[in-house]
Chains A and B, each alone.
Chain A
Amino acid sequence: MSENITRRGVLRNLAGIVGGILAMPAGRTCKAAVQHGLATSSAPKGYDPTKHKWLMALDVDRCIGCGMCVEACKAENSVPQSNFRTWIERYVITRPKAGSGESRGETFVDSLNGGIAGFKPSLIPKEDILKSFFVPKLCNQCENSPCSQVCPVGATFESPDGVVLVDKNYCIGCGFCIQACPYGCRFFNTTTNTADKCTMCYHRITRGLRPACVEICPSQARIFGDMKNPIADDPLQKFIENNKTQGLKDHLGTKPRVRYAGLDEEVR
């Protein structure tokens, strides 16, 4: 190619560059207008996610295994029949064999239908049971969540107010997050064809209501609150002060925002 710089050519190129730069704000305005038209929202007004930090605590000693929370969650979030955003596990630990020198026998865990209709008496005879208890489970809302780290499209994320959420319009349904969750708290929703999980009832907490499971729990086994705006006599603050709390699988470094008190060593 020959070096052939003409005045006309240079001016044309310059005009093109200037025109392009001038067109940028117009493009931006166009884009904003289109996006504004597409998005219709009835979201609660005046909720600033950066001014809250939600936390849930679970008191294992207070769970009576009635399954009301599972039922409440299903109804609130239209969770498909075979999936659960929250569920209850029953642990039955048998007595050790006489003379074995062990502290405990075998451990049996069951959760028929997530415990939605409560639990029928265990098949293990009462005299063989060393101890037995219920453990409510739900998404641990990790601060350092493995599920949002593996999402290839930025569809799942840790919100500024401490909840791990799924953007259903962005999720491509690859299922990486479902495999990444060490707690098995995610599932594939076949109605929406996206990953699905507990949102801590984000549509309720942003309106000043408690999550459905916390609202319906008859024994205050679930305690919920805002760590940035404690209310007078905050039950969550009191609970954290009065109990030795821990998260599930804390050694993984996921930093769960769901804290447990009264956990047995068998619970993972």
Chain B
Amino acid sequence: MFKMPPQIIRLVLLTIGIVCAYFTARYFLTPASFGQYGHYRGNALQEIASREPYWAGRKTCDTCHGEIVKKLAKAEHQGLSCETCHGPSKVHVDNPEIKLPKMSYSQCVRCHEASPSRPKWLHQITPNKHYTGQVCSECHVPHQPNEVP
């Protein structure tokens, strides 16, 4: 009868041992959610989603300031989010006692300054030619740009 040489048997046993060790290690080290949706950790989705938002969002403003939001929705600035002009409002949402900083009219110019790169539909002005020395709010209402104060 054919007899396996001892060195081959030792080699085979060693190979089996290494393969077993690999599968045992893999079994215990692979995270439980790996492969839940694909070749990645399914739990990573929840981990990425668990961060707290920074901007409160227009919907949140609407819960208390519904009147203003409704009026805004009829005017030219209807698409704007409150925080676009008023700034990040999460602190104010968490504690309404904390008021948001006063508006500055440099914000109007940021969007409305004339530039050849800007689309034609946008109302644009050249700040040093358009009623210099006056603030925007003397003639324009930010929430209702078509109205005269």
Contact = CB atoms under 8 A, between A and B. Distances in A.
B40 A154 contact: yes
B54 A65 contact: no
B31 A203 contact: no
A21 B9 CA distance: 25
B15 interface: no
B129 interface: no
A13 to B, nearest CB: 14
Contact of B55 (A1, A208, A215): A215
A167 interface: yes
B140 interface: no
Contact of B110 (A42, A118, A202): A118
Contact of B84 (A41, A91, A218): A218
A90 B27 CA distance: 52
Contact of B115 (A65, A160, A199): A65
A134 B37 contact: no
Contacts of B52: 42, 203
A156 B52 CA distance: 22
B96 interface: no
Contacts of A43: 45-47, 49-50
A82 interface: no
B116 A132 contact: yes
Contact of B58 (A167, A169, A215): A215
A39 interface: yes
A114 B50 CA distance: 27
Given A43-B46, A43-B47, A65-B117, A218 B79 contact: yes
B59 interface: yes
Given A209-B59, A210-B57, A216-B81, A203 B50 contact: yes
A52 to B, nearest CB: 11
B122 interface: yes
A51 interface: no
Interface string A118-147: 110110001001001110000000000000
Q: Which of B38, B53, B117 has the most CB of A within 10 A?
A: B117
B111 A218 contact: yes
Interface string A153-186: 0111111100001011110000000000000000
Contact of B117 (A92, A156, A169, A208): A92
Interface of B: 4, 6, 9, 27-28, 31-32, 34, 37-41, 43-55, 57-59, 77, 79-81, 83-84, 88, 110-111, 115-119, 121-122
Top 9 A-B pairs, shortest CB-CB distance: A43-B46, A167-B44, A157-B40, A132-B117, A203-B51, A206-B49, A43-B50, A76-B54, A154-B40
